[in-house]
Chain A
């Protein structure tokens, strides 16, 4: 089970989220997608361009989709439907407790293998973790949540976790930086997407640094870093070595 951190700086790294979502669904994995930032339709439309139908995946039980925006509205404006066994995953918005226990329970329940399940490894996908801080969760609560998820999904279920966070070098959001740095230390793989230091370019939208945290395996090896540049197109993203974009060649 691998913990993969998607990190973006000065640009939008959500294309990686779309990629991994369709990648794991196509691979036959059971995916729990905690989609906090956008509506289901947004992800569905993009997924279709990448060749995957999210509605169908939901219907056949392969995809468990938490639409954060909708859950939040149900929680705040919904009628009082007292279901003691089914608290909302975003319960922390309403309660005085600060922890993300309900959200973790949701993840655990979603990915627990059913007897009828024939899916491959479970995957937890989160877009994006920084939103939880904006909603009032403390950095400690967020890190605890991730820790519990890692123990359950990666170690126990041998599954993967992919989480997107935002960070900026001159960010003043200390809580966010704390969460990001802590997650970096515990990640097996970091995909760090950055805008180009030289500014906007039509042909190269940014660079991606892939950091293999080999040092975590305590074999004395250093982390392996690969650097590519990328360009986003309508239905895919092309990667190339720095300086070799189509505009230059």
Chain B
């Protein structure tokens, strides 16, 4: 059966080296796959991993080729840059091509800081043991019969054949990177060249970036336009902190920006480029800095998957015992509804993330049981507030406004 990526570009054959994921095809089957991808059968889409299996699970199985994953940065950009690196690291491990664009940090430096993959099975079990030993401290004294029951699934189980785990305490070895074709766009270096595409009042940095992306897609054959350059690989595009002042856009720094359309125009053209090529893109946006909320509404409508990160650093939630196990919340604002009337929204609406020593994971948020007899009014109210905020679910499905009291 032929699997069509969004935009109609059929998948083609690929024989990759031993280091990258290779899906075993049955003898006689003529279905061939690109490394690091798996089909979403119901929608006829080709999915790639975001680099974080727990994120893949909540956004419908992965990032569809031809789509955009937009991350609303947490206040200090700490965790969003982690997700950014995971996406790129996954591309390295799968043998994909990379395109890294940044206005602040040179892409070479970003690539040097990618987390090391846990490819060896022994490493993975080591990690699991470390996690188990941390949690075995609390052995049960009274309810000891429950000690041996399987722990509640906080993270959904994911197949290890698609998506990998990374150790954030170690950086990826340079040898892995050398095998990968990387394109970079560092704005300060690009400002000297003249933009040649004609567009009415689009921010010139965005114009240059679009040109650069289009050139790579076209010249490297990711859009199938040149039959001689038929590309059998995926291009992973990463753009960091789009919309920030460093990109020449004032939507993050001004209440009344001069040009509110540049970013949305950029996203529209980018969508056109993504849809017609074997590529997928991650963009982080400092949404918390954008005063004009209308812009973020429009940005969301022009993106496919939108995930917001809210870290607890510096907020009152940092010391709130309700959230002691977590470092922040994850809001899935939108999941694409492509090639189908339905979309794969997960049932889990309340998500949080935590960064342990080596592993970053996204989990279903469990509020601890309300055990105290003398719970004060304020903390009960806080619980209700949190529950209300948490229940604002994915925008593709209904968002509840009323808080039901049981």
A37 smallest CB distance to B (angstroms): 8
Q: Which of A206, A232, A237 has the most chain B CB atoms inside 10 A of its CB? A: A232
**Given A76-B269, A134-B261, A134-B302, do A171 and B400 touch, yes or no (CB 8 Å)?**
no
B399 and A195: CB pair below 8 A?
yes
A11 and B272: CB pair below 8 A?
no
A95 smallest CB distance to B (angstroms): 6
Selected contact of A195 from candidates B201, B269, B292, B398, CB within 8 Å:
B398
A199 and B393: CB pair below 8 A?
yes
List, sorted by A's number, 8 A–B pairs whose CB atoms are closer than 8 Å: A11-B396, A39-B7, A49-B341, A69-B271, A76-B210, A134-B265, A134-B268, A234-B341
Selected contact of B276 from candidates A38, A39, A131, CB within 8 Å:
A39
Selected contact of B293 from candidates A69, A96, A131, A172, CB within 8 Å:
A172
A134 and B272: CB pair below 8 A?
no
Interface size bracket, B side = 35 or more
**Given A135-B261, A136-B261, A197-B402, do A73 and B269 touch, yes or no (CB 8 Å)?**
yes
The interface of chain B, by Cβ under 8 A from chain A, is 4, 6-8, 42, 44, 66, 197-201, 210, 214, 261, 264-265, 268-269, 271-273, 275-276, 292-294, 297-298, 301-302, 337-343, 345, 347, 349, 391, 393-402, 404
A197 and B400: CB pair below 8 A?
yes
B268 and A174: CB pair below 8 A?
no
The answer to whether the Cβ of A110 comes within 8 Å of any Cβ in the partner chain is no
The interface of chain A, by Cβ under 8 A from chain B, is 10-12, 14-15, 18, 38-42, 45-46, 49, 69-70, 72-73, 76-77, 92-96, 130-131, 133-136, 166, 168, 171-176, 194-202, 205-206, 232-237
Cα A98 to Cα B399 in complex, Å, equals 35
A130 and B7: CB pair below 8 A?
no
A42 and B271: CB pair below 8 A?
no
Cα A223 to Cα B343 in complex, Å, equals 34
B302 and A233: CB pair below 8 A?
no
Could you say which residues of chain B place their CB within 8 Å of the CB of A41? 4, 6-8, 339
Nearest CB to that of B304 among chain A residues? A38
Nearest CB to that of B275 among chain A residues? A39
A196 and B269: CB pair below 8 A?
no
Could you say which residues of chain B place their CB within 8 Å of the CB of A136? 200-201, 261, 265
B268 and A131: CB pair below 8 A?
yes
B7 smallest CB distance to A (angstroms): 5
Cα A196 to Cα B392 in complex, Å, equals 12
A69 and B200: CB pair below 8 A?
no
Nearest CB to that of A196 among chain B residues? B398
Could you say which residues of chain B place their CB within 8 Å of the CB of A194? 398
A117 smallest CB distance to B (angstroms): 29
